[in-house]
Structure 1
């Protein structure tokens, strides 16, 4: 491969960037859980293609991912993800960026804790959500702002509000986001969350309720028996071939569900019981969300991936607080995970501050209470 020929990883990023809207008005940010998830997907795919190119003289054409039906991802976020992937992990003063997220927890500890979380979930007073309503989430988010080939650099935390449609019918407009604060990409703007299709496709890109667009109605239809639910999730969760195990994909998918949805207590409890059955799940005795709240962490040793996510729960109520994302290896040839032997680097975190059900997109819970 000569200097003028882009690597498969670079081609992948370029292709994704080509499909993204050029206008800032079309850009938006994902809810916290999905933002980290799709960032991970892009990172892992480029990582895989780059490694393959270094090992094989004539690499195959890069595979196309996240094309259709896919939620639109802003160009800024795409290049930030690529920046994390190609980054040299922090050297020198990191201002607290380098952070060990793993503890001395064990698989048995995790099973006990997940059982307690499941029991606490059963006691939740969850409001049933109508198809015409929206799930509202207010979060504090902190992500990487490092440039390409630069160290990971956490940006300022910012508030993110999201309204997700609960319509069971296939839709192209999934909801709306609103950001505010110093680290916000588009502060004060109401930005629609929409789907996209490959140019020339006759498919509208509409997404029905299901695993990729979990509504309250769909979540309520899931089996509450942990074994039956595990079987269903294993059958329906897609994996990145050669990059992750089925258990890793299911863990991440459940993380999306518990972080950004409202569901019946029985279904929430069943999901946590499923997590306890996944191989490699461990407990982190102390983990901190983006709001600085300490809690118990649940994570999965994603040894085949470049990142690892920690879910954080309150130590007394076992309520879900937020998550932290770590890079677990360096992406430069011959590089080491972190200076001084640290194997992980924090690249993002979130904190769920409020979750509610509202009647209209853009309505805040206080306004909804007054109307009721």
Structure 2
């Protein structure tokens, strides 16, 4: 037997954790735990980059081999070795929770959206100056046909709260014909790298000339715009599973982004959050800690929060009881259902 430990892939690691197969536990060992140092930057709007996930794997016998089998008698068949394996401990730190959530969502099957189809999202929307309500959107995968929004508070809505949303690309005079980070479609998002480091580099190197007018694009502003791209995708576009997982891990590495272990969406659901600053707001993108599904966004006015510390993190703590007209936030959502459908007005089959 080769006593050199094998490095397990993420899929193999999950398989071992879920099934605890004794015969495999005898032949493999956990990858060595790793932790990336947290590093900080100090400009006014910048926040911390995130430590990598520390993962522990199934245990081995002390000498690296399975326990010896009991001696067999001449009249009895040999007894198979018995081994034990210990379950992988659940992460409790913010970085560990986010890393597990990102891996979980990335492992989900791709829905295989066609260009002529539409993304579907039904959510609760609530604001300090608005009433809580349901909002449903249908957006074209390729951005080249009209979408639909059902929300009674939308300007121009008919008696049923329906608003036709103009095509994003190529239908109006002078309209762009190509999507990008500034004007994303589901088709464009599906083409993004699924490697978090490559995706991070793409976000930070993007051309920002069309997004900012009359203001120098400083490093700190570039970081905020990159975080804003991630918010736009999760909140309004959605992403295939592999890209969604990569976006979560890449966004956690954007200077000026923090990870919070416990945040709440508009429906009161708790999850792990990517937190950044957008102008006058602290923005939290909340994800289910088990499945990695995007739960919603929570935005709090910076003026309603304690001042930020010298490390440049977004202000932590809770707003006072009266903030946000007593809601505690300026704006929040809770995603209830998502899917891919054939036409605006359709609902996902499952």
- TM-score, normalising length from structure 2? 0.59
Instruction: Kindly report the root-mean-square deviation, in angstroms, between the aligned alpha carbons of the 2 structures.
Output: 3.4
Among candidates 158, 161, 166, match of residue 133 of structure 2: 158
1:164-179 map, 5 Å: 164-167=139-142, 171=144, 173-179=145-151
Among candidates 190, 195, 211, match of residue 225 of structure 1: 195
Is residue 2:258 matched to residue 1:270?
no
User: 2:206, 2:232 → 1: CA distance?
Assistant: 15
User: 1:106, 1:213 → 2: CA distance?
Assistant: 26
Aligned-residue offset at 1:279: 1.5
Q: Indicate the residue corresponding to 1:85 in structure 2.
A: none
SS in 2 for 1:116: helix
Aligned-residue offset at 1:255: 1.5
User: 2:196, 2:294 → 1: CA distance?
Assistant: 20
Among candidates 144, 161, 173, match of residue 189 of structure 1: 161
Aligned-residue offset at 1:281: 2.0
Aligned-residue offset at 1:222: 1.5
Q: Indicate the residue corresponding to 1:46 in structure 2.
A: none
Residues 363 and 341 (structure 1), Cα distance of their counterparts in 2 relative to 1, 3 Å cut: closer
Q: Indicate the residue corresponding to 1:61 in structure 2.
A: none
1:289-328 map, 5 Å: 289-301=265-277, 305-328=279-302
User: 1:284, 1:264 → 2: CA distance?
Assistant: 24
User: 2:149, 2:136 → 1: CA distance?
Assistant: 6
User: 2:319, 2:201 → 1: CA distance?
Assistant: 41
In 2, are the aligned partners of 1:294 and 1:314 still within 8 Å (CA)?
Answer: yes
Aligned-residue offset at 1:300: 1.9
Residues 261 and 341 (structure 1), Cα distance of their counterparts in 2 relative to 1, 3 Å cut: closer
Q: Indicate the residue corresponding to 1:248 in structure 2.
A: 224
Q: Indicate the residue corresponding to 1:30 in structure 2.
A: none
User: 2:196, 2:284 → 1: CA distance?
Assistant: 22
C-alpha offsets along residues 150-202 of structure 1, whole Å, 9 cap, x if unaligned? xxxxx22111110101126xx4x54110025xx67646232111279xxxxx9
Bigger Rg, structure 1 or 2: 2
Residues 339 and 250 (structure 1), Cα distance of their counterparts in 2 relative to 1, 3 Å cut: closer
User: 1:339, 1:356 → 2: CA distance?
Assistant: 34
| Structure 1: 5+ residue stretches without partners | 1-104, 146-154, 197-201, 331-336
In 2, are the aligned partners of 1:326 and 1:348 still within 8 Å (CA)?
Answer: yes
| Structure 2: 5+ residue stretches without partners | 1-47, 52-92, 305-314
Aligned-residue offset at 1:270: 1.6
